[in-house]
Amino acid sequence: MFIECRYGSQDEILGQIRAVPEVVYAYKLDKSYDIVVKVESDSFEKFTSAMSKIRAIRDMLNTDTMIGFKKP
């Protein structure tokens, strides 16, 4: 997931994102997007719940999400 944030809010948003249990990593970027996030879960329900928690965070302007699946 790539996130564009309101200027000056990156650190606060990053801290909130890292508190979501399904977040594997979250780092600042320095280009079109401000933060990159990787979310992993063992079910679609947990994944969508994590995405909802992240998208509810204030001061995010835009998100771009790419989903990948592993074969069992």
Spell out the per-residue pLDDT of the chain, length 72, in tens: 999 999 999 999 999 999 999 999 999 998 889 999 999 999 989 999 999 999 999 999 999 998 888 777
First to last CA, the chain: 23
Element (H, E) at 62: strand 60-64
User: ∠ CA(29), CA(70), CA(67), 5° rounding?
Assistant: 40
Domains of the chain and CATH, by start: 2-64 (3.30.70.920)
pLDDT of residue 67: 87
pLDDT of residue 69: 81
pLDDT of residue 31: 84
